[in-house]
Amino acid sequence: MSADTVELLRQRLAVLDPVALTIEDESHLHAGHAGARDGGHYKIHIVAAAFAGKNTVGRHRIVYDAVGDLMRGKIHALGINAAAPGEV
């Protein structure tokens, strides 16, 4: 299931036209956690022009909008590191 979720994340985030994107499945670190049975834990590092001029909350909103319904099922927790090109 996690490989499928990683691919779905990659597909959803493609709308942001990222110049860099890594997705880490950290679900194994949360085994036994109450939310772990209903969805996985993931961390993303993404660089995209869409984040230019946006603060952290604005960047996270952009990511959550792109990820959409995955946050209500396949994903229990999502760590986000979002940057604009040139900030990294």
User: Residue 51: pLDDT band by 50, 70, 90 thresholds?
Assistant: very high
- CATH code at 2-83: 3.30.300.90
Structure tokens, 50: 């869409």
Stretch (H or E) spanning 56: helix 56-67
**pLDDT at 29 > cutoff 60:** yes
Check residues 18 and 1 and name the one with the higher pLDDT: 18
Q: Where are the domains of the chain?
A: 2-83
Looking at per-residue pLDDT, the higher value among 66 and 38 belongs to 66
Cα 80 to Cα 56: distance, rounded to the nearest angstrom:
9
pLDDT score at 30: 59
